[in-house]
Amino acid sequence: ETQIIQLDPNHLDEPYARQQVEYAARLLQEGELVVLPTETVYGLGANAFNAQAAEQIFIAKGRPLSDPLIVHIADEHELENIVSVVPEAAKKLAAAFWPGPLTMILPAGPRVPGLITSGLPNVAVRMPSHPIARALIRAAGVPVAAPSANRFMHVSPTTARHAYMDLKGRVPLILDGGPCTVGVESTILDLCAEVPTILRPGGTGLEALRRVLQKVQPPQLRQIQSEEEEDLTQAQAAPGQMRVHYSPHVPTYLFEGSVEDMRHAMLAELQARQAREEHVGVLIADEDLNAFQESGAIIYSLGHTPEQAATRLFAGLRTLEDAGVNVILCRSFTEQGLGLAIRDRLLKAAGGKITKV
């Protein structure tokens, strides 16, 4: 009972596309959920001013109410309806990065339901650049609350199919706009902190932010030690600080070291596991393809630039998971640009299982 409608983001002016966007907008106005493409990942949208609609998001995802939602807008003037003040820094950042993969944490205005912010005094706002997201938000005439359209704790979806696999039967409509062009979630920047602080690295790089604001506090990349250490009551104590996310359903090991050393260590681990009849998946780069060609592993390459790696990362984790591997061995990449977000997601996927070589 989940309908999927394919739309070409470059031809939204055509009558058929307009009709479908109007239909999706009507669902949002009626308090229903709609999965929509954004440039980062697919989102699970609801009318942000309707607390009952927003509550459906948590139910469909299986997400605890202590994990707050990002509010998406299509035009900057909508910011006034959501936040109580717009600091100078936010204006500068909006001019530089909106529409695009930057989420700002700002003081919440009175119209934002407490459910959206998990009771925090601040709200997360972002203006996506994806033409379908923008058209839908405009047509709905309300801001759209949207987390990533995956089941809670799973890998974020970068295609409509990923979202369908996680949410079929739980949402009436998925708008399919093709694969996401950025591929990792937005950068979350806390502008309520004394020094603007990155809470989650994402599609907008630290270097780029520092060209606009003098001072930006880099994110604290956390290496989660073990699943047992993860305690959902932690989330209650500090909303918005959930520590586990983006985990594939298969144990994932992250290797660190020089390219040569990582390759050797991964191949050795691979052989040891194959000797125990395990099916092994490897997440590598194009430059490693020759070394792994004959290895018998199921190979997924993230390409050769951080931009490519970002668009392929979540699809790669899901592909290996769906291939039925017992384990995923993954190399590390540069931390430049989008590399910081990739490193953060890999650390979370590995949940502390890191091999330094």
What the block records as the tokens of 343 is 């490193």
User: Nearer Cβ to ligand TXA, position 220 or 258?
Assistant: 220
Window 256-275: residues binding Mg ion (CB under 5 A): none
- Closer to Mg ion by CB, 129 or 148: give it: 148
Please report, as residue ranges, which positions from 148 to 167 form the binding site for Mg ion (by CB under 5 A). Answer: 148
Q: Which is nearer to Mg ion, 17 or 146 (CB)?
A: 146
Pick the closer one to Mg ion by CB: 28 or 70: 70
- Least Cβ distance, residue 245 to Mg ion (angstroms): 6
Q: Which is nearer to Mg ion, 262 or 317 (CB)?
A: 317
Kindly give the pairing relationship between strand 34-36 and strand 43-47.
antiparallel
Residue 38 interacts with which of Mg ion, ligand TXA, none, CB < 5 to 8 Å by class: ligand TXA
Q: Which is nearer to Mg ion, 148 or 158 (CB)?
A: 148
- Identify whether the C-beta of residue 21 lies closer than 8 Å to the C-beta of residue 144: no
103's contact among Mg ion, ligand TXA, none, with CB below 5 to 8 A by partner kind, is ligand TXA
In the complex with ligand TXA, the residue whose CB is nearer, 119 or 296, is 119
Piece in contact with Mg ion (CB under 5 A), picked from 85-93, 145-153, 230-238, 278-286: 145-153
In the list ligand TXA, Mg ion, none, the entry touching 21 (Cβ below 5 to 8 angstroms by class) is none
**Least distance from ligand TXA to the Cβ atom of residue 124, Å:** 3
Q: Where does this chain touch Mg ion (CB under 5 A) — which range of 143-151, 250-258, 324-332, 347-355? A: 143-151
Interaction partner, residue 199 (ligand TXA, Mg ion, none; CB < 5-8 Å by kind): ligand TXA
Residues that bind ligand TXA (CB under 6 A): 38, 40-41, 43, 67-70, 101, 103, 105, 117, 120, 122-124, 126, 128, 146-148, 185-186, 188, 199, 240, 242
Q: At 70, list the tokens.
A: 């990002």
Residue 169 CB, nearest approach to ligand TXA (Å): 21
Q: Which residues sit at the interface with Mg ion, rule CB under 5 A?
A: 148
